[in-house]
């Protein structure tokens, strides 16, 4: 896999995985980290959904949570009192904490997977500083000074969803490293996945399913799961999925709530959910 080769070879590598929700971003990150462990790297995964809301009330609280959480995953005790100087500021303090403590305590490279980072998007007053800090750490590995070798040990895999407008601002300021934008499944990929469920579908059957759910990975997998475990044929499944909420009820409900925040999208979505004929909507 090309992205893992970059991760291993480039000092201070950074990979950005982004796509709408439920497109397989976390699964890809997990595979990358698994490969990294096989190569002898230390790996840590940090899910930003584990942070309490209070953590996001200031950059200082976020970075303290970030440093302590990574340290705990490495089996290291909380040493904030030794590295946090109110005069220097939280970005400088967290940099010192990683450089002089966390990275210094391990012999191998640290591959740090940051999942659900889009949680930070909801707090624009701290998002800019947080992502600029990650960018600075990535670039410190290239400085060529006496501390660069420490930062070459840190390799970042950053995962975020692209459903909020705020991610566009991030995209412009955080355009470093290797970007991986996950696409929808192709017809061939859907057909291969169907075979994994023991479904020997031809191209017409795959096209029928994709006319309903497109190539959206979550929706495709949900359909195949129901067909396989409920012992449905495709012909039985298609009308059920359109008339019963139990198949896609949770997904539709989530999309409905999201689109209520935008009048134009809300109107289009209301038409879509009440119309017997599929409408063409732009992908978010």
| Alpha helix segments (H runs only) across 51-123 | 59-73, 80-83, 90-97
Per-residue model confidence (pLDDT) at position 225? 84
Per-residue model confidence (pLDDT) at position 260? 53
Helix 217-229 crosses helix 203-213 at what angle (to 10 degrees)?
A: 120
Nearest by Cα to 42 from 130, 185, 119, 154: 154
The C-alpha atoms of residue 82 and residue 93 are separated, in whole angstroms, by 10
pLDDT for residue 265 is more than 60: no
CB 76 within 8 A of CB 8: no
75-114 burial by CB neighbour count: b if 16+ within 10 A, else e?
eeeebeeebbeeeeebbebbbbbbbebbbeeeeebbbbbb
Per-residue model confidence (pLDDT) at position 274? 53
Where does the pLDDT of residue 284 fall: very low under 50, low under 70, confident under 90, or very high at 90 and above?
very low
The C-alpha atoms of residue 182 and residue 62 are separated, in whole angstroms, by 28
| CATH class, 2-181 region | alpha beta
In this structure, of 52-61, 145-154, 169-178, the range with the lowest mean pLDDT score is 169-178
CB 17 within 8 A of CB 177: no
In angstroms, what CA-CA distances link 111 with 12, 42, 88, 281? 9, 6, 27, 38
- Please report, rounded to a whole number, the percentage of residues in the chain having pLDDT higher than 90: 55
What is the pTM for the complete model shown?
A: 0.79
The C-alpha atoms of residue 119 and residue 112 are separated, in whole angstroms, by 17
Per-residue model confidence (pLDDT) at position 279? 45
Per-residue pLDDT tens digits for 75-107: 999 999 999 999 999 999 999 999 999 999 999
pLDDT averaged over the chain? 83
CB 33 within 8 A of CB 23: no
pLDDT for residue 277 is more than 70: no
Query: E-assigned strands of 76-177?
Result: 110-115, 154-161
The mean pLDDT value for 106-114 works out to: 96
What are the residue ranges spanned by the domains of the chain? 2-181, 187-274
The mean pLDDT value for 19-47 works out to: 93
Nearest by Cα to 112 from 177, 176, 178, 33: 33
Where does the pLDDT of residue 253 fall: very low under 50, low under 70, confident under 90, or very high at 90 and above?
very low
Per-residue model confidence (pLDDT) at position 174? 82
Per-residue model confidence (pLDDT) at position 256? 46
Cα pseudo-dihedral 234, 218, 175, 158, rounded to 10? -150
């Amino acid at each position: 896999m090309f992205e893992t080769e970059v991760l291993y070879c480039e000092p201070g590598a950074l990979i950005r995985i982004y796509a709408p929700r439920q497109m397989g971003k976390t699964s890809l990150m997990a595979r990358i980290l698994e490969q990294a462990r096989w190569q002898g790297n230390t790996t840590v995964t940090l899910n930003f959904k584990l942070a309490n809301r209070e953590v996001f009330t200031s950059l200082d609280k976020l970075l303290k949570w970030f440093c302590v959480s990574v340290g705990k995953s490495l089996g290291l005790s909380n040493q904030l009192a030794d590295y946090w100087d109110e005069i220097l500021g939280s970005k400088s303090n967290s940099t010192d904490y990683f450089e002089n403590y966390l990275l210094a305590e391990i012999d191998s490279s640290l591959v740090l997977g940051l999942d659900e980072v889009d949680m930070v998007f909801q707090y624009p007053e701290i998002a800019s500083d947080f992502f600029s800090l990650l960018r600075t750490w990535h670039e410190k590995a290239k400085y060529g000074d006496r501390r660069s070798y420490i930062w070459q040990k840190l390799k970042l895999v950053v995962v975020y969803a692209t459903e909020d407008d705020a991610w566009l601002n991030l995209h412009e300021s955080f355009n470093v490293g290797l970007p991986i934008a996950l696409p929808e499944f192709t017809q061939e990929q859907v057909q291969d996945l169907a075979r994994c469920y023991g479904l020997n579908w031809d191209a017409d059957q795959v096209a029928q399913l994709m006319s309903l759910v497109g190539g959206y990975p979550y929706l495709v997998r949900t359909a195949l799961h129901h067909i396989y475990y409920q012992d449905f044929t495709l012909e039985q499944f298609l009308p059920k999925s359109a008339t019963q909420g139990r198949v896609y009820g949770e997904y539709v409900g989530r999309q409905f709530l999201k689109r209520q925040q935008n009048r134009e999208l809300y109107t289009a979505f209301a038409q879509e959910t009440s119309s017997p004929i599929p409408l063409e909507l732009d992908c978010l």
